[in-house]
């Protein structure tokens, strides 16, 4: 349990560091957007005051109507030039921010906000104006998820699982990880590359009061003379899963502009994983007279040092049915090759 807590803490720190990086990047982008909006508001407010002063001159008869129209047009043009000049500097800052991301100085993928302004003046209604600042949120090509999976675990022997030496309901697996989901096509939401890092726990509980015993380069199941309350064999792996994901969420429209979201509909993923064996451990529990005893044995148990296999999942939104199969045998030198297989539920949480 202590090691499990360590692995979980490391994964959560990795995920948290990415989220904090995204927050910093978003704050910089939002700050630029806020400055652009503030510049436009300030210039419009100043223009309104200047136009009102011209209107007062017209009312007092110090200038003609034609002179008033010409003055208001000149004032509006001057304010528009001011806006363009000041916003150009902020757009340069935004361009530099994007360049930092492209150069890898900002590693996290993030959505940037691109801004443009348009200033319109209704001359027939004097001081009334109609202006709009339109902001379009760029689509986010890469997102991140916290992955949790759990379910049943067993070994395939001679191509079958039936008549297994391990309890079907008592043997289980669970997986914790962080994944990244990148949309492959710019304007199509179907294909995604999904990749990340996970810690896998594979547990086997032998039947018929048995446990593993190492005999030279062979690891065999033998009957224990003591009545066992529990017998469990656990392997912990650090793996890098990679999947091609088909996401049928499609595209959405907002203000006549398309944008994309993942995990909104049915999803199908096909791929595999590869990694290393971090630890193998056997746990047996039994009663010793009136005492409850637990023995934990750590070692390699002749297990494979590396793990690689195939995996697939199909589901709706964040929840999927998850299947994975190890292509490497669990015990590298055993006469009978046995491969781990797992079936369960997977949750990809944005």
pLDDT in tens, the chain (350 residues): 555 555 555 655 555 555 544 446 667 777 877 888 788 888 888 888 988 888 888 888 888 888 888 888 888 888 788 888 887 787 777 777 776 766 666 654 444 344 444 445 554 554 444 443 333 454 478 888 999 999 999 999 888 887 889 998 999 999 999 999 998 888 888 899 999 999 999 999 999 999 999 988 899 999 999 999 999 999 999 999 999 999 888 877 776 676 677 778 899 999 999 999 999 999 999 998 888 999 999 998 999 999 999 999 999 999 999 999 999 999 998 988 999 999 999 999 98
The encoded tokens of residue 327 equal 């292509």
The DSSP H or E segment spanning 281 is strand 266-288
Among 236, 331, 233, 229, which Cα is nearest to 282's? 233
HSE of 7 in the Cβ direction (CA atoms, 13 Å)?
20
pLDDT at residue number 212: 92
Q: Where are the beta strands (DSSP E) in 72-122?
A: 113-118
Instruction: Give the β-pairing of 338-349 and 319-326.
Output: antiparallel
Among 249, 299, 297, 244, which Cα is nearest to 272's? 244
pLDDT at residue number 103: 66
Task: Tell me the torsion sign for CA atoms 50, 52, 55, 60.
Answer: negative
CB distance 120 to 131 below 8 Å: yes
Ramachandran region, residue 237 (left: φ > 0; alpha: ψ -120 to 50; beta: rest): beta
Distance of alpha carbon 340 from alpha carbon 328, whole angstroms = 8
Among 259, 264, 302, which Cα is nearest to 280's? 302
pLDDT at residue number 132: 38
Number of H helices, E strands in the chain: 2, 15
HSE of 304 in the Cβ direction (CA atoms, 13 Å)?
20
Distance of alpha carbon 86 from alpha carbon 101, whole angstroms = 24
The CA–CA distances, whole Å, from 147 to 20, 53, 323, 346 equal 18, 63, 14, 7
The DSSP H or E segment spanning 94 is helix 65-102
pLDDT at residue number 102: 64
pLDDT at residue number 308: 96
Cβ neighbors of 307 (< 8 A, separation 6 or more) are 200, 237, 239, 273, 274, 275, 276, 277, 326, 328
Distance of alpha carbon 209 from alpha carbon 223, whole angstroms = 6
pLDDT at residue number 64: 86
Among 92, 101, 90, 87, which Cα is nearest to 26's? 101
**∠ Cα 37 38 43 (to 5°):** 105
Distance of alpha carbon 253 from alpha carbon 308, whole angstroms = 41
pLDDT at residue number 106: 63
User: Residue 241 pairs with which residues in a beta bridge?
Assistant: 273
User: Residue 147 pairs with which residues in a beta bridge?
Assistant: 177, 348
């Amino acid at each position: 349990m202590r090691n499990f807590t360590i692995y979980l803490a490391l994964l959560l720190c990795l995920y948290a560091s990415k989220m904090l990086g995204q927050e910093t990047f978003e704050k910089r982008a939002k700050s630029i957007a806020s400055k652009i909006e503030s510049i436009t508001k300030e210039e419009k407010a100043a223009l309104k005051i200047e136009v009102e002063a011209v209107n007062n001159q017209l009312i007092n008869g110090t200038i003609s109507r034609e002179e008033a129209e010409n003055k208001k047009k000149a004032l509006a043009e001057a304010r528009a030039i001011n806006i363009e000049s000041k916003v150009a500097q902020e757009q340069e800052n935004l361009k530099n921010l994007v360049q930092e991301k492209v150069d890898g100085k900002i590693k996290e993928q993030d959505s940037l906000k691109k801004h443009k302004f348009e200033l319109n003046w209704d001359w027939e209604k004097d001081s009334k104006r109609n202006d709009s600042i339109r902001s379009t949120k760029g689509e986010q090509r890469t997102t991140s998820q916290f992955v949790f999976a759990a379910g049943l675990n067993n070994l395939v022997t001679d191509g079958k699982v039936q008549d297994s030496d391990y309890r079907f309901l008592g043997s289980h697996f669970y997986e914790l990880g962080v994944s990244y989901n990148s949309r492959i096509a710019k304007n199509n939401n179907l294909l995604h590359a999904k990749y990340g890092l996970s810690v896998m726990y594979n547990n086997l509980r032998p039947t018929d009061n048995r446990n593993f015993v190492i005999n030279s380069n062979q690891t065999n199941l033998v009957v224990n003379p003591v009545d066992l309350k529990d017998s469990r064999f656990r392997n912990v792996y650090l793996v890098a899963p990679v999947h091609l994901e088909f996401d049928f969420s499609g595209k959405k429209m907002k203000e006549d502009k398309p944008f994309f979201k993942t995990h909104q509909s049915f999803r199908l993923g096909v791929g595999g994983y590869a990694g290393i064996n971090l630890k193998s451990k056997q746990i047996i529990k039994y009663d010793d007279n009136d005492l409850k005893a637990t023995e934990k044995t750590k070692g390699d148990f002749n297990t494979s040092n590396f793990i690689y296999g195939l995996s697939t999942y199909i589901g709706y939104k964040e929840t999927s049915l998850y299947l994975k199969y190890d292509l490497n045998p669990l015990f590298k030198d055993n006469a009978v090759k046995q491969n781990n297989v797992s079936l369960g539920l997977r949750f990809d949480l944005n």
